[in-house]
Amino acid sequence: MPVIGWSKDFLVGIKDIDENHRYLMRLLNETYDGYVLGIVTDLFNLDELFQCLTDCFVYEEILMIGTSYCSYLAHKASHELFKINFLEMYNNNNTNEFIDILMFFNNWVYRHIRDADSKFGDFLRAESLGLVQKPRYSSSAAREYLGA
């Protein structure tokens, strides 16, 4: 039984990002199923999930920089905060159960894709339609304005 079901709510609308997310969710569900069946209980099994998610982060961040995404810094901060919180739980594994860490991971992924990644998808679609207005100033104009 999947812990996180794929639905169109998770579609960001950008093919590569959606494929990355789909793969991540499949891995998440396999790990959860493994836990339910008593096969997967070792924290080591969370390494692959963490690696898969951080690969998704890198892919998104490169795309954000390349498209001058206006919310890049906030989005990146969200990725970084997740990594800090996850690693803290992971490294304190004597107080955190495998399933608690897996659920933390699951809940964060669910919310992040639906709330933050989807906004980036909207931005990319608008940008591809020429609807995003880029700043018109240049650095030399800014320096001139500032009298520098």
State whether the Cα torsion 142-143-144-148 is positive or negative.
Answer: positive
Query: Out of 56, 64, 101, 124, which residue is the one contacting Fe ion (CB under 5 A)?
Result: 56
**Tokens standing for 9?**
């709510």
DSSP, residue by residue, 49-74: HHHHHHHHHHHHHHHHHHTT-TTHHH
Q: Which stretch binds Fe ion (CB under 5 A): 31-39, 41-49, 113-121, 137-145?
A: 113-121
Nearest CB to Fe ion, comparing residues 101 and 117:
117
Closest CB to Fe ion among residues 21, 89: 21
- Total interface residues for Fe ion by CB under 5 A: 3
| Stretch 117-136 residues interacting with Fe ion (CB under 5 A) | 117
Token output for 58? 């890198």
How far is Cα of residue 116 from the mean position of the Cα atoms in its chain?
8
**In the complex, minimum distance from the CB of residue 113 to Fe ion, in angstroms, rounded to a whole number:** 6
Take residue 54 and report the two structure tokens written for it: 């951080």
Q: Which amino acid is at 138?
A: S
Using CB under 5 A as the binding rule, whether residue 24 contacts Fe ion is answered as: no
Whichever of 16 and 144 has its CB closer to Fe ion, that residue is 16
The site for Fe ion (CB under 5 A) is made up of 56, 60, 117
